[in-house]
Amino acid sequence: MISLRERLIGTWTLVSWGMLSEGVEVPVPMGKGATGLLTYGPDGYMSVNIMAPDRPKFVSSDFIGGTAIEKAAAFETYIGYSGRYEVNEGGGFVTHELQTSSYPNWSGTIQKRFIDLTEDRLRLTAPPVLSGGKEVIGILIWNRAK
């Protein structure tokens, strides 16, 4: 039988991202239509990047350029993190041990995600976090990349 860890390995594309607060759906930070990639490597490292659709480009073509307003908008429309991961086969969850994160408070933390995996569809559910002043549960649906 193939382990849950082995079944996770590969690259996944974001299908949808939803958030619930007290059982009621609330808007997600990236809005509807966010795109993203999630990769679990056989070496025990993972990476995820999610962004809002139609992110505005900076006026400047300087890589470290951009106005304060442009940089704030870029931060608000993108999240990414990476690090080691471990799968708890019996508990049905994965932990992401973050070494890098676009959200500075997550660097050096462990993020837990509950797994529901069928064939080429992955559902990850996050324990409650604070978002916009509310406790929310994030639910992300991914398809295996082809």
Domain boundaries along the sequence of the chain = 4-144
Could you say which architecture CATH assigns to the domain 4-144? Beta Barrel (2.40)
The pLDDT value recorded for residue 87 is: 98
Tokens encoding 26: 């609330």
**Spatial CA neighbour of 144 closest among 20, 11, 7:** 11
The pLDDT value recorded for residue 49 is: 98
Where residue 42 falls among pLDDT bands split at 50, 70, 90? very high
Task: Decide which of 116 and 28 is more confident.
Answer: 116
CA distance 60 to 67: 9
What DSSP element (H or E) covers 97? strand 93-101
pLDDT average, residue stretch 33-49: 97
Strand pairing partners for 48? 38, 81
On the question of pLDDT at 75 being above 90, the answer is: yes
Kindly report, residue by residue over 91-143, the tens digit of the pLDDT: 999 999 999 999 999 999 999 999 999 989 999 999 998 888 889 999 999 99
Contacts of 122 (CB under 8 A, 6+ apart): 8, 12, 38, 115, 116, 141, 142, 143, 144
On the question of pLDDT at 23 being above 90, the answer is: no
Comparing 18-22, 39-43, 99-103, 140-144, which segment has the lowest mean pLDDT? 18-22
On the question of pLDDT at 28 being above 90, the answer is: no
SS3 1: coil
